Each structure stands twice: as C-alpha cells, then as structure tokens.
Structure 1
Amino acid sequence: MQENQSTVPNSIIDEGVIKSLHEDWNRKIAADAKYWLENDAKIRAITDAKSYEEFCDIVKTAHLKPISRKEFSEMRGKKERKEYFAMANTSAQTLQPHFSEETSADVKNSTEFVAQWNKLDYRGRGVLLKKLDSDKLHLFLQVETPPGMLGDLTKIIEYTPELETWMRKLLQSMVSSKRFSLNLLFLNEDELEFYSNVLDALGNDDVVLHLKERFGLIKQQ
C-alpha cells in the first residue's frame, strides 16, 4: 500500500529559512554599524595621538586592529585631521629670557627631561629649553624625545638674531634625535612652513642645508 506523501509548494518558504535569513540580515547590519563605529574611532584616535605608538595604544584600548603606517599616513591627509590642526594650531609664542620658578634646569637624564616637559605648558617648556645646557639637551634627545616635540616647538620658539646660535644647536639636536622621522611625520603644513621660514632666516651654509635636507625641504645631495 502506497503511503500518501504531502508535498510543500516551492513558493512556500520554511520558517527555519526565514529565521536564518533574518539572522543573516541582522549580522550584516551589525557588521556595517561596527565598521563605521571603528572608522570613527580611528579618526578620533589619529587626531589625539602624538606618535604612531600612542595611536596604536588608543586603537588597542578601543579593541580595534592597528592600521599600517601607510594607512596612517593617508588618514593624516583627510579633511578631519586638517580641520583638527586648523583648530589646534596657534601662533608661535616668543621664547622669553626670564626663568620660571616652576621650571628646574636640574634635569639629570632623558627620563627626567621628558617627565618635566610633559607636565609644563608651552611657556614653561620654552623656559626649560633656554635653561638647559645645549650639550646636555642634545644627549637627552638621543635617548628619548617627548612625543610631538617637533610640532610643539613651533608654538614655543620664534626666530630672533639673538637666538640664532641657540636655535641652530637646538635644530641640530632635533634632527639627530630619537624618532625624529616619526615626529616629522606628524607635522602639518603650517608647522612645516614654520621650519622652512626659520631655516631660511638662519642662512644658507652647510649646516642649514643639512637641516633643510633632514626636514625634507630640499632634496638630499
């Protein structure tokens, strides 16, 4: 005796299939939302970080995968970062010759220098630089450089003929400092133009030409 078999029309979709499609759709929506959330987080991180290492730390904290240095460089050129720099950039402050009670020249090593630099405002940093012996500062910068120091200097120093010798030594120390290339990567167009103007004012001898090469303002010979 042949059993009766009920057939389901092809036009009817099983309830399990509908549930599966619904879950798949929700996963795609969630994935898209996650992508844009992570993208926004990366943009925020790249405007706040003062070094590539700090950027990676911010990204890791947000449970995001760190981007490559190539991606990092490309993101710096985006509109969001340019707008951030436009707001953050202020006119350079003149380096005053007087000392501050809050600033001590009794800095024994690079660790102490970086720690003191980080706790001071721009004026205090300028005073610290002026008080420190140039040779001692040079040694400190070979070991460690404060994050974003190259950009900070554009808000601290201002060229005057009286400071020419001091500025030459400072810039020579900076171009030979640890992570100079990384600091240079973080300069925006206005900050790079600042250094171009300063170096033009310092003359055109071999020392200045070398500095311009290191800043990427002229091609290396």
Structure 2
Amino acid sequence: MEDSDVINFSALEKELQSALAADKKYRRENDAKFRAIHQNVGSYEEFRDIVLASHLKPLDKKDKAGAPRKQPWNAIAAGTKQQGSAFCDVIEVSELHPRTAAEFSRDWRRFGGSAPDRYRLLISLGGEGLRRIFSAEIGFGLLGEFLSVLSECLQPGDVTAVVAVLEGMSQTGRFGLNVSFLSQEEWNRCLQLFRRLLGIVGDGIPLTTDEQCTELPGIEGDKVLPKHNETTEWENVEEKLKALMQLYGVQVECLK
C-alpha cells in the first residue's frame, strides 16, 4: 500500500472535532443574536458584546469567592493554545476546499496570523464559492474580516477576482444585516478597499496578473495606457463596482 493510500485517522479526528466546534460556535452565536434583538439593545457595541460573550456561563450558587476553581473562567480562551498545536503544520491554500461554513471557519482560523494566506483563500474560492458556502449568512464578524483582508492585500492584477468575491458575498443571506453590523474600523477598511479598486481601474493598470499577495502594495510610477480591447473591460468592472458600492452602502462622497 502506498503512503498516499494510508488514512490518517488522527488528522481526520482533529478535523472532525474542529468542524463540530465551529458548528457549535455558529449555533451559539446565532442564538445570541436573536436574544440581543429581542432585548432591544441600545447600540451595536452592546449587541456585539452579547454575541462575543455567548460562550460564557453564569456563576453557579456553589461558586464562592476565593474557592478553588475546578474549571477555567473562559474555556474558549484557555483552549486556544491547545488548539493552536493541532494546526501548526504548514497548510497550503491549494489543499483547502471547504464546502460548508463550518469547514471554512476551520480553515480561516488556521491562517489567523497571516493576512496574505487568508487573502489567497478568498481569491481561490471566488465569489461563487463563497456565495455557496454562506448561502444562509456570513458568520458574525467574518464580513468585516474579509473586507479588511481584501483591503490590506489587494493586488492591482486581482481586481476582477476581488470584484467577483465582493459580488458573491453580496448575494449571501442577511447580507444587508451583516453590513449594518460592521464596526467603524471595518467600515473604514471597506471604504479603503473600494477607493483602491476604483483608483486601480481609473489608472488603467492591467486587470490580471500572476502576482501573489506578500505585502500591502503601492501604486507608483506612470499610468499604464489602456489598450483599446481592454477599455471596455475596465468600464464593465467600474460599472460593477458602482453597483456593489450601493449594496455595501458606500457613497461616492465618502471616497473623496
């Protein structure tokens, strides 16, 4: 039997446990959203705090100040270091093919400290892949993370791919609600992303390239003169961007 035919049951078990944990987290946070709505919270910050603290449990009557604790106050935070060791192996984006929101959350966490890897994951899945994975809705907080990563790692040659990602995300469930829950920092990243996209298209920079994201790029030097057969493509991308700006609630005045 070849090495490639050997089933790694340990790795399968870790992935199963990770998927189950991601699904449990999704359901828990989703329930917290509905509780916050029914409580008529006064601000987005209060709503966000309720969702982020959904894993915490109230103290029991038997709990006393100064008494030894049998379990950590925050089991999620305490388990972070243990979970980190399970994903310490080098994972290539091309090896990941998430089909559900739980599988995507698992893979997304693997690249927690690497914006370029997360960027490549979004680009590799494309708009259609993301729309299919998040047909119900994009998990709480993820839309802001997506926009931040796209804004930070945008490459001039990836404009059409990024536009497709933005388009696919806009077709997911409860998209308008997700946009309304963006924090101020996430909203600023969204504005920065659209500003850069329109700037790249306006400068006539080629829309496709083999470059990969390694750092936040700058647009310097002389403008690239568009070829005649590329002009129509640039115009189509610009029209898509303007339509997407309305879906994301971005006003033209905000980009000036």
Instruction: Compute the TM-score of the two structures, normalised by the length of structure 2.
Output: 0.45
What is the CA–CA distance in structure 1 between the aligned matches of 2:141 and 2:191, rounded to whole Å? 18
Residue aligning to 1:68: 37
Residue aligning to 1:57: 32
Cα RMSD (Å): 3.7
- State, as a whole percentage, how many aligned pairs show the same letter: 21
How far did residue 69 of structure 1 move? 6.5
When structure 1 is superposed on structure 2, of 108-117 and 176-185 the one drifting more is 108-117
Question: Structure 1 pair 58/164, CA: closer, same or farther in 2 (3 Å)?
Answer: closer
| Pairing 1:134-213 to 2, within 5 Å after superposition | 134-157=127-150, 158=152, 159-203=154-198, 205-213=238-246
Does the CA contact (< 8 Å) of 1:154 and 1:191 recur in 2? yes
Say if 2:104 is the partner of 1:113: yes
Residue aligning to 1:62: none
What is the CA–CA distance in structure 2 between the aligned matches of 1:138 and 1:168, rounded to whole Å? 13
Aligned length: 145
How far did residue 134 of structure 1 move? 4.4
How far did residue 119 of structure 1 move? 4.8
SS for the counterpart of 1:106 is coil
What is the CA–CA distance in structure 2 between the aligned matches of 1:69 and 1:207, rounded to whole Å? 37
Residue aligning to 1:126: 119
How far did residue 120 of structure 1 move? 4.0
Give the residue type in structure 1 aligned to 2:170.
Answer: V
Residue aligning to 1:214: 247
Structure 2 gap segments, 5+ residues each: 1-24, 50-89, 199-236
How far did residue 128 of structure 1 move? 2.1
Give the residue type in structure 1 aligned to 2:193.
Answer: V
How far did residue 166 of structure 1 move? 1.3
What is the CA–CA distance in structure 2 between the aligned matches of 1:58 and 1:208, rounded to whole Å? 31
- Give deviations 1:100-146, integer Å, cap 9, x for gaps: 52643333444433443345415243332233354333322324523
Does the CA contact (< 8 Å) of 1:141 and 1:177 recur in 2? yes
1:101 counterpart (80, 91, 103): 91
Residue aligning to 2:215: none
What is the CA–CA distance in structure 2 between the aligned matches of 1:170 and 1:58, rounded to whole Å? 26
Structure 1 gap segments, 5+ residues each: 1-49, 60-65, 82-99
How far did residue 214 of structure 1 move? 1.0
What is the CA–CA distance in structure 2 between the aligned matches of 1:131 and 1:185, rounded to whole Å? 27
How far did residue 173 of structure 1 move? 0.9
- Give deviations 1:23-48, integer Å, cap 9, x for gaps: xxxxxxxxxxxxxxxxxxxxxxxxxx
Task: Decide which structure has the larger Cα Rg and report it.
Answer: 1
Does the CA contact (< 8 Å) of 2:126 and 2:161 recur in 1? no
Question: Structure 1 pair 51/113, CA: closer, same or farther in 2 (3 Å)?
Answer: closer
Question: Structure 1 pair 112/144, CA: closer, same or farther in 2 (3 Å)?
Answer: farther
SS for the counterpart of 1:202 is helix
